[in-house]
């Protein structure tokens, strides 16, 4: 049995992607994907409404044309340094005592956990129940139908800077569409690339984008920690452009075609051709030197990821290891570099 279509927008630092999907009885079918370069979004934050809305409009129009379907609203992935996630507690007595828990009880205890004090410049985006307790018994995922006197919940509450959330909504509205719901980007990445077993056992997903890197840690079947690092693969391009005195386009080409995140994996005799600014002839250079520049920035990203996992207290709680995703993760040697930095964690 097929369900209705779901339309999604992923607002990245280098491109806007519109996706249409359909949930099936088992799994999900991706019906269409359309991407458009966009410079109106920086590290997950809308910095130019006109540019952002034009990128959204172009991607949406292409998707609608490809599918022959009009979409009025979109689920929008949101991330960036302004996003915060915190664990909150909720509690509710079951009256009369020892009766079975109902759906209404579950909604009330979740709403109680959501009633946390939030500064006036922030707004709540999502509240994700992690674990329920009945009369002190932990580890309950589906409390409905169980008997008890007290129901408790631990909820991961996601908030964002109000102005940034509003600007994201405005950019979508300027493209003639409506935001149906906002979803934490690292949460979506994790659900997309981790197996149910990894999410249950404990695993982290690292999504290396153009302007930022998103980290999400999952344990006991749900998200437990998230963080946005203000560094991405676009910074690698910037490093190459400055140090090699090339245009950004030439630096991007070198990164994609010849780049590597771990210089020791590159044979010493290999060379690449570089077109520097103001020159008309290509200049040869050692490929390993190119990769040493790349490795410096990629090692910084990997080290920051390790620091955040340690800060959250999850370094020894990830038997499922770390899964890399995003455009920056496609670079040769990225897996090996992260293994070197994260040491005992499988990547």
Q: What does the block give as tokens for 294?
A: 């790349």
pLDDT in tens, 148-197: 999 999 999 999 999 999 999 999 999 999 999 999 999 999 999 999 99
pLDDT of amino acid 1: 43
Cα gap 337→40, rounded to integer Å: 31
Contact 306, 316 (CB under 8 A): no
Which pLDDT value is given to residue 3? 65
Q: What percent of the chain has pLDDT above 90?
A: 88
Residue in this structure with the two tokens 């979740």, named with its chain if needed: 110
Q: Are 84 and 159 in contact (CB under 8 A)?
A: yes
- For residue 272, how far is the Cα from the chain centroid? 33
Q: Cβ(231)–Cβ(301) under 8 Å?
A: yes
Alpha-carbon distance of 121 to 118, in angstroms, equals 8
Coil, helix or strand at residue 96: coil
CB 186 within 8 A of CB 224: no
Q: Which residues pair with 7 in a beta bridge?
A: 20
d(C-alpha 214, C-alpha 231), whole Å: 9
Helix (H) or strand (E) segment spanning residue 51:
helix 49-67
Triad 316, 317, 320: Cα angle to 5°? 110
Residues in the chain with pLDDT values less than 70: 1-3
């Amino acid at each position: 049995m097929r369900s209705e279509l779901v339309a999604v927008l992923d607002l990245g630092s280098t491109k806007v992607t519109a996706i249409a999907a359909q949930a099936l009885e088992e799994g999900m079918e991706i019906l269409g994907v359309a991407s458009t370069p966009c410079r109106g979004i920086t590290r997950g934050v809308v910095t130019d409404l006109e540019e952002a809305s034009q990128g959204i409009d172009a991607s949406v129009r292409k998707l609608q044309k490809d599918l022959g379907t009009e979409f009025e609203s979109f689920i929008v992935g949101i991330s960036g340094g302004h996003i915060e996630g915190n664990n909150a507690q909720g509690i509710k007595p079951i009256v009369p005592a020892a009766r079975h828990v109902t759906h209404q009880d579950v909604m009330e205890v979740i709403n109680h956990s959501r009633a946390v004090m939030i500064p006036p410049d922030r707004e709540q985006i999502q509240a994700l129940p992690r674990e329920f307790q009945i009369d002190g018994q932990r580890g309950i995922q589906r409390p409905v139908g169980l008997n008890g006197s007290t129901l408790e919940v631990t909820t991961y509450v996601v908030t964002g800077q109000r102005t940034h959330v509003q600007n994201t909504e405005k950019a979508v509205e300027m493209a003639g569409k409506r935001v149906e719901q906002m979803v934490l980007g690292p949460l979506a990445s994790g659900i997309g690339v981790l197996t149910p077993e990894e999410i249950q056992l404990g695993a982290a997903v690292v999504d290396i984008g153009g302007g930022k890197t998103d980290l999400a840690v999952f344990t006991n079947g749900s998200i437990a920690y998230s963080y946005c690092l203000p560094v991405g693969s676009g910074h690698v391009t910037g490093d190459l452009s400055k140090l090699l005195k090339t245009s950004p386009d030439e630096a991007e080409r070198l990164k994609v075609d010849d780049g590597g995140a771990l210089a020791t994996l590159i044979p010493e005799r290999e060379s690449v051709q570089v077109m520097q600014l103001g020159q008309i002839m290509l200049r040869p250079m050692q490929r390993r030197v190119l990769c040493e520049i790349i490795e410096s920035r990629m090692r910084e990203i990997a080290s920051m990821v390790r620091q955040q996992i340690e800060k959250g207290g999850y370094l020894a709680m990830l038997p499922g290891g770390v899964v890399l995703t995003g455009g920056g993760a496609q670079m040769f040697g990225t897996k090996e570099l992260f293994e070197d930095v994260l040491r005992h964690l499988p990547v």
